[in-house]
Amino acid sequence: MAKSLVSLSLGIIAGNILAGTVNIVGSICPYLVSYFHSINSDIWSTQVISISTIGYISEAITNVLISYFSKRYKDFTLLFYSCGLSLLLFVVCCFINEPYTFFVVFGINTGMISVFASYVPVWIAWEHSDKKYKGLLSGFATCAYMLGPFIYGLIFTATANYDNKPPITVENTTEVLFDETIISRVPFSLYTFTAFSFVLGISMCMFLHIKNSYFTEKVHESSMSISDLIKQKSFWHAFSLLFFKIFHYHYLLNIYKILGLYYNHDDFSMSAISAIGFISAALLRILVGYILDRFDWKKFTILVILSEIFICLTFPLTFTNVYLFGIWFTLSLSLSSSSFLMIWILAQKLYPKDRWVMGLISLSLIFDMLLVNIFQGFVTPVIFTQIIGYSFTFVLVSVLLLCALCLTILFDTRTDYPGLLENDTKHE
């Protein structure tokens, strides 16, 4: 059992690092902007960040599709072929020079692999391990998923900007561009990115290849249909809460490196800050899961959102100091990164027999990433150049968090959501 548990854990870690590529754009955005701008002068950060929008749309759709596939295909078979396809698409991306084609293919691919390489390894591990290890295995998964962007970001920094050259700020804009030396190294960074992804994918399949049975023999029972679900107030409540709560996290992922470089924090400092931030956020995900298994969901969520609002409003005061910037970024990322996990746990409490429900709730990510793209493409440039800078955009983010706070307060566990109350009172 010990050897099997280690193998399953390593498989989950490899898979979820690979799955974390869907959040990589914030880490590598300046490199991609510089590279594709040299090919097409109309390409700026707005266009590159559309990769995230496409990726999260792809991820949300795949979240729904996986509930269908999981009932019809063996888990390992599903994992093997889906990840094999994604790895081949990463190879294709290395040879795409047309910017918009690259954005679409890369975005769709990262969204797809983020679902298959995160959920399916956990399902396989749960099936072939003792029930008492489910929490531990889930903790490994959430940690590795969070660390994925950081690890891939380090790969890009180490291969494209190992001599720590600062970018050049484009006059009268918020854009930063690297020089020709850095630009010429970006293709090699993409090759290294793909090679590392292959290592992770092959390792994942090797560690999770269990002899005899690869999947659950009995079909997971469902207590309702999709038409029944969408008639429930609790579904739309959770859907809206995820939209308002997770925006802070997605916006921060896309903007933090651009923000840091604009305020003259060097590339190595930003890599160190992101390392601390992503590691802290990964560890906090385990802690949040542990807390929500034992304490009241509503009270804890209110506390987290209030903390986020305070940190978000004070974040602009730290922009010019690299140390304070690092501390506030770490706090912001750590708290906001738990958003999906908190709503996932809420969905499990409300619908314990229907694991596919979270896939439908996560469709709110489509609208969330569209809003992030609007912020990055229109709100941020206009406000930054014409009014008072990035500070006001974080005020707007705080308004969205305030909406999430109101929705959380309006959760009436004693009337509308007895399933939530029942699960919470088990630990009181």
CATH number at residue 162: 1.20.1250.20
Computed over every residue of the chain, the mean pLDDT equals 82
Percent of the chain with pLDDT over 70: 85
> Could you tell me if residue 220 is inside a domain?
no
Cα distances (Å, whole numbers) of residue 253 to 22, 100, 144, 350: 11, 21, 16, 29
> Could you tell me if residue 224 is inside a domain?
no
> Could you tell me if residue 346 is inside a domain?
yes
d(CA 346, CA 407): 13
The pLDDT value recorded for residue 406 is 94
Element containing residue 177 per DSSP (H, E)? strand 176-177
Report which of residues 56 and 12 the model is more confident about.
12
Question: pLDDT band at residue 185, thresholds of 50, 70 and 90?
Answer: very high
The pLDDT value recorded for residue 404 is 94
Phi-psi region of 275 (alpha: psi -120 to 50; beta: other; left: phi over 0): alpha
> Could you tell me if residue 221 is inside a domain?
no
Percent of the chain with pLDDT over 90: 33
> Could you tell me if residue 38 is inside a domain?
yes
> Could you tell me if residue 274 is inside a domain?
yes
Domain boundary among 178, 210, 242: 210
Question: Mean of the pLDDT values across residues 339-344?
Answer: 82
> Could you tell me if residue 218 is inside a domain?
no
Are 206 and 258 in the same domain? no
Report which of residues 259 and 195 the model is more confident about.
195
User: If you ran DSSP here, which 8-state letter would residue 21 be given?
Assistant: G
The pLDDT value recorded for residue 213 is 46
Per the structure, the complete domain to which residue 428 belongs is given by 230-428
Are 416 and 283 in the same domain? yes
Question: pLDDT band at residue 16, thresholds of 50, 70 and 90?
Answer: very high
Question: pLDDT band at residue 288, thresholds of 50, 70 and 90?
Answer: confident
- The number of domains in the chain is 2
> Could you tell me if residue 219 is inside a domain?
no
Q: At what angle do helices 99-127 and 2-19 cross, to 10 degrees?
A: 160
254 CB-near residues (< 8 Å, 6+ apart): 25, 26, 29, 49, 52, 372, 376
Question: pLDDT band at residue 3, thresholds of 50, 70 and 90?
Answer: very low
Which residues are bridge partners to 169 per DSSP?
176
Question: Mean of the pLDDT values across residues 71-77?
Answer: 80
The pLDDT value recorded for residue 214 is 43
Are 191 and 281 in the same domain? no
The pLDDT value recorded for residue 12 is 92
Q: Which of 201-210, 252-261, 302-311 has the lowest mean pLDDT?
A: 252-261
Are 189 and 62 in the same domain? yes
Q: Which of 112-121, 131-140, 158-167 has the lowest mean pLDDT?
A: 131-140
The pLDDT value recorded for residue 379 is 65
pLDDT at 2 over 70: no
What's the predicted TM-score (pTM) here? 0.72
Model confidence pLDDT, tens digit, residues 200-254: 999 999 999 865 444 444 445 566 777 777 888 888 999 999 999 999 998 887 7
